[in-house]
Chain A
């Protein structure tokens, strides 16, 4: 069974930093590009960032470029999102997602449970 278990959400002040983690199991993690998608309260889905199988290529939405860093540790089957310079508008539930067929640009067939990030002073 594919599982994506997230951790690391919480309350942070504007300008602060936070790291999200996503522990994967039930599939060969190192063979799948992974991504992050977020959803602000009561709003729609927004693409955030993605990473290739070996971490050599990364992708970012313009809204988070230069502030967020995606990475992965294939030896630990874990995906990360380091967020810095957080803004009020970054407040959202962040989802870790697995690609369907192993392509960098792909549909997302499994979603983590979500991690709530609150940005407030």
Chain B
């Protein structure tokens, strides 16, 4: 099983700042099949990024993904108050599919 470790656990930034979220895999993610999801308080998760760097439908371009192999990053270029949420990475390159533990993004 591919274990995904996300860091930091919590990120507290001011509006307009750049947020960098990390997702590290215990083994190489096949075909870089890594996705990112956003879950706002009280809401269901929403797909942001798939295949490491492709934005899902209607996702603003301030969200971007990068990485390969075992190290992946979600970047929010200019943080907005509506971005307060928990962000999860997921690998779907091998079975069982797995999720990271999440990074909580807060606004200072």
Residues of A within 8 A of B (CB): 35, 37, 44-47, 50, 59-62, 95, 100, 105-109, 111-114
The residue of chain B having its C-beta at the shortest distance from the C-beta of A60 within the complex is B96
Contact of B92 among A46, A95, A105, A111 (CB under 8 A): A105
Is the pair A44, B101 in contact by a Cβ cutoff of 8 Å? yes
CB distance from A26 to the nearest CB of B (A): 14
With the chains together, A48 CA to B6 CA distance in Å? 20
Residue in B39, B51, B96 whose Cβ sees the most chain A Cβ within 10 Å = B96
With beta carbons under 8 angstroms apart, the residue of A44, A105, A112, A114 that contacts B97 is A105
What size tier do the contact residues of chain B reach? 20 to 34
- Among A95, A107, A111, contact of B90 (Cβ-Cβ < 8 Å): A107
Q: Chain B contacts of A59 at CB under 8 A?
A: 95-97
> Could you list some 29 contacts between A and B, CB below 8 A?
A37-B99, A44-B99, A44-B102, A45-B37, A45-B90, A47-B96, A47-B99, A50-B97, A60-B96, A61-B96, A62-B96, A100-B50, A105-B92, A105-B94, A105-B95, A106-B92, A107-B33, A107-B35, A107-B47, A107-B51, A107-B56, A107-B90, A107-B92, A108-B47, A109-B47, A109-B50, A109-B57, A111-B46, A113-B44
A111 to B37 Cα, complex, angstroms: 11
Give B residues with C-beta under 8 Å from A. 1, 33, 35, 37, 39, 44-47, 50-51, 56-57, 86, 88, 90, 92-102
Report if A35-B50 is in contact (Cβ < 8 Å); known contacts: A107-B92, A109-B56. Answer: no
Residues of A contacting B50 in the complex (Cβ-Cβ under 8 angstroms):
100, 107, 109
Given the interface contacts A44-B88, A45-B45, A113-B44, does A105 sit within 8 Å of B99 by beta carbon? no
